[in-house]
């Protein structure tokens, strides 16, 4: 079929603009999800700290995890244990603002039954944690966020022992069905057990991951956690993350 050169160049232009739009959308999604992970992570750290001030919480060995419900500009964090017939029940609860500040004290509950959505969120956590993976830390936090599709995204995030080393390797995203019973996909967000030194005097950080793919929500989360510009070089390209924003960048030396 004959096509004029003008039409051919116009078609190429439309394809290129479409690819750019997709890339921009992917970066915006990574930015949003990275911020969500950071805010939820700070909320659970504040909730745990508040719990440490309660003797019953400190000594409670039956807690199996927690669930989070968004309430305006706050999270309602409920710590969960297995009740009768292994049905999950709420044992402690506290509200935490998006800035990571506890809004009141930890409340002890009398084995509060969870609703269907809360049970599904808790199951998604357990399913993600039970999926075979390479652990890069002795301590993990599991952050579960809802998707507009009705499914869940459960993130396994390694905890570092020292603030001057950030752990990226060993971080995973599990896509879990809406009922929390099935892991649909499970993906590493960085290769191996890669780490990122974070010296206090550094004005910016650089993370090289030649075996990694495109920039993702983990990098956006780490940029927020570090509180300084983060340059990411991987097999998928080069980016700079600053102030929660992700931009394409030339490869840094």
Q: Which residues contact residue 79 at a Cβ distance below 8 angstroms, ignoring those fewer than 6 apart?
A: 47, 51, 57, 63, 65, 66, 90, 91, 92, 93
Q: pLDDT exceeding 70 applies to what percent of the chain?
A: 90
Burial class (CB in 10 A: 0-12, 13-18, 19+), 219: buried
Task: Kindly state the percentage of the chain with pLDDT values over 90.
Answer: 79
Calpha distance 195→177 (Å, rounded): 31
Q: Please give the pLDDT value at position 18.
A: 39
Question: How do residues 221-239 score in pLDDT, each as one tens digit?
Answer: 999 999 999 999 998 899 9
Q: What is the rounded CA–CA span in Å between residue 106 and residue 77?
A: 10
When mean pLDDT is compared across 19-33, 120-134, 181-195, the lowest value belongs to 19-33
Whose structure tokens read 């340059």? 231
How does pLDDT run across 138-152, given as a tens digit for each residue?
Answer: 999 999 999 999 999
pLDDT at 16 (0 to 100):
34
**Cα torsion for 25, 31, 33, 34, to the nearest 10°?**
150
- pLDDT in the model for residue 72: 86
Q: Where are the domains of the chain?
A: 48-114, 119-197, 200-253
The pTM is what?
A: 0.88
User: What's the pLDDT score for residue 248?
Assistant: 87
pLDDT digits (tens, 9 = 90+) for 41-91: 999 999 999 999 999 999 999 999 999 999 888 999 999 998 777 899 999
pLDDT of the residue at 253: 53
Q: How confident is the model at residue 27 (pLDDT cuts 50, 70, 90)?
A: very high
What is each CA distance from 47 to 74, 87, 103, in whole angstroms?
12, 23, 10
- For residue 63, the SS3 value is strand
Q: Which pLDDT belongs to residue 83? A: 79
Which pLDDT does position 169 carry in this prediction? 96
**Strand ranges across the sheet with 237-242:** 205-209, 230-234, 237-242, 245-248
CA dist 81 and 62 (Å) reads 6
User: Tokens standing for 206?
Assistant: 């650089």
* Whether the predicted pLDDT of 250 surpasses 80: no
pLDDT, tens digit, 9 for 90 and up, residues 85-130 = 789 999 999 999 999 999 999 999 999 999 999 999 999 999 999 9
């Amino acid at each position: 079929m004959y096509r004029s050169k003008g039409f051919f160049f116009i078609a190429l232009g439309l394809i290129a603009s479409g690819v750019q739009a997709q890339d921009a959308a992917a970066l915006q999604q990574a930015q949003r999800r990275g911020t969500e992970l950071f805010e939820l992570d700070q909320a659970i750290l504040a909730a745990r700290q508040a719990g440490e001030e309660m003797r019953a919480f400190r000594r409670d060995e039956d807690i199996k995890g927690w669930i989070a419900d968004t309430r305006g500009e706050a999270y309602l964090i409920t710590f969960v244990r297995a009740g009768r017939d292994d049905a999950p029940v709420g044992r402690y609860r506290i509200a935490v603002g998006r800035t990571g500040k506890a809004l009141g004290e930890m409340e002890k509950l009398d084995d509060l039954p969870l609703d269907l959505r809360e049970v599904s969120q808790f199951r998604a956590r357990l399913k993600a944690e039970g999926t075979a993976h390479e652990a890069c830390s002795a301590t993990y936090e599991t952050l579960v966020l809802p998707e507009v599709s009705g499914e869940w995204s459960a993130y396994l995030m390694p905890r570092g022992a020292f603030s001057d080393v950030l752990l990226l390797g060993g971080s995973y995203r599990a896509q879990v069905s809406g009922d929390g019973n099935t892991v649909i996909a499970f993906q590493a967000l960085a290769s191996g057990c890669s780490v990122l030194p974070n010296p206090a005097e550094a004005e910016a950080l650089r993370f090289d991951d030649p075996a990694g793919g495109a920039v993702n929500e983990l990098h956006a989360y780490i940029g927020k956690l570090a509180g300084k510009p983060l340059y990411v070089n991987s097999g998928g390209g080069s980016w700079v993350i600053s102030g929660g924003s992700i931009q394409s960048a030339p490869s840094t030396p």
